[in-house]
């Protein structure tokens, strides 16, 4: 049975017009399209410094020599890749909803990754539940998109959410950008992963992804609820009072995640799987300043 493409070609063409927005200079390992801390030979002038033996004489500014009677080098802003890490929650609670949260998370991660690949940035994918699973070596360039998409689609959803298991892979990242996609419903909360992102000098975003049935529950009467991760069951009677309490609890969880993200300099957005991927990217991610 053929696997449906993760993202439509028409969407990929629109994604190529976007770019990840970084708030500070980055320092990568290869040439790219990002402003770097280091000095290089791009067209954007950065500074002067005195010539020292061994420097590239082609960078000598002869006009400055005529004025100052000493050799000065013109330094330019280097352009380097942006290291991007995308962490995708594929725990049991994500394998639920219409549209399915896990499938939407794969598509959203693929869209963000493709924006970076089109800019020659280096992308690493990590999926997690009760432990992290590497998506392989980092990807770079549009030609790597097909393999990255296949890898995203190959990971099954299931297991108990454990944000603590993200601390080690996050700590291995070079300073750069990280995006965490999760429903934020695991216990203990996502805060431990956000603290790790801050220690690793990551900027980026936390994207809380929920199904419309979670945002606006429509059930009524008596029901038996089953935890998608632990299998525990609980009898429940849906009344206007209990539904209101549920909505308040969910909003409180969202507010807690948003405050924790902002304290660590991360952007935040809550999204519904009912929202088309194109709108998530073009509207929501641009609104919070992750893309432009």
* Cis before 57 (ω within 30): no
The one-character DSSP state at 280 is: I
Give the CA distances from residue 174 to residues 158, 167, 192, in Å, rounded to whole numbers and listed in that order.
29, 14, 19
Per-residue pLDDT 10s for the chain (292 aa) are: 456 799 999 999 999 889 898 876 544 444 444 444 334 444 555 566 676 666 666 777 888 878 888 887 766 554 556 899 999 999 999 999 999 999 999 999 999 999 999 888 899 999 999 887 876 789 988 899 999 999 999 999 999 999 999 999 999 888 899 999 999 988 778 999 999 999 999 999 999 999 999 999 877 788 787 877 777 888 878 888 888 888 999 999 999 999 999 999 999 999 999 999 999 999 999 999 999 8
Question: What pLDDT shows up at residue 204?
Answer: 95
Question: What pLDDT shows up at residue 134?
Answer: 75
| Domain spans, the chain | 9-22+81-287, 31-80
Beta strand 83-89 with 122-128 is parallel
Beta strand 233-238 with 83-89 is unpaired
The H-assigned helical ranges of 69-207 are 101-118, 145-154, 167-171, 191-199
Give the span between the Cα atoms of 267 and 21, in whole angstroms.
11
Output the CATH code of domain 9-22+81-287: 3.40.50.410
Helix, strand or coil, per DSSP, at residue 267:
strand
* Continuous segment of H or E residues that includes residue 163: none
Give the span between the Cα atoms of 48 and 32, in whole angstroms.
23
Give the span between the Cα atoms of 116 and 26, in whole angstroms.
14
Question: What pLDDT shows up at residue 249?
Answer: 93
Beta bridge partners of 132: 128
Give the span between the Cα atoms of 231 and 250, in whole angstroms.
20
């Amino acid at each position: 049975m053929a696997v449906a493409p993760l993202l439509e070609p028409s969407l990929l063409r629109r994604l190529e017009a976007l770019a990840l927005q970084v708030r500070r200079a980055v320092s990568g390992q290869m040439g790219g399209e990002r402003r770097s801390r280091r000095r290089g030979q791009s067209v954007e002038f950065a500074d002067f410094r005195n010539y020292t033996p061994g420097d590239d004489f082609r960078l000598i500014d002869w006009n400055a020599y005529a004025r100052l009677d000493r050799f000065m080098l013109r330094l330019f802003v280097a352009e380097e890749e942006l290291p991007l890490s995308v962490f995708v929650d594929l725990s049991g609670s994500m394998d639920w909803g219409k549209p399915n949260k896990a499938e939407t998370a794969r598509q959203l991660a693929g869209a963000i990754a493709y924006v970076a690949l089109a800019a020659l940035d280096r992308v690493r994918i990590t999926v997690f539940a009760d432990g992290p699973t590497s998506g392989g070596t980092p990807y770079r360039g549009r030609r790597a998109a097909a393999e990255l998409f296949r890898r995203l689609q190959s990971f099954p959803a299931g297991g108990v959410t454990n944000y603590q298991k993200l601390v080690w892979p996050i700590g291995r990242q070079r300073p750069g950008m990280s995006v965490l996609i999760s429903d934020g419903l695991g216990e203990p909360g996502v805060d431990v992963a956000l603290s790790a992102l801050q220690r690793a000098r990551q900027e980026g975003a936390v994207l809380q992804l929920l199904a419309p049935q979670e945002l606006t529950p429509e059930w009524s009467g008596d029901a038996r609820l089953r935890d998608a991760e632990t299998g525990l069951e609980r009898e429940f009677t849906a009344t206007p009072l209990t539904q209101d309490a549920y909505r308040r609890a969910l909003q409180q969880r969202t507010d807690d995640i948003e405050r924790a993200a902002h304290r660590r300099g991360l952007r935040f957005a809550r999204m519904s799987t009912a929202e088309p991927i194109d709108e998530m990217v073009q509207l929501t991610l641009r609104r919070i300043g992750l893309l432009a």
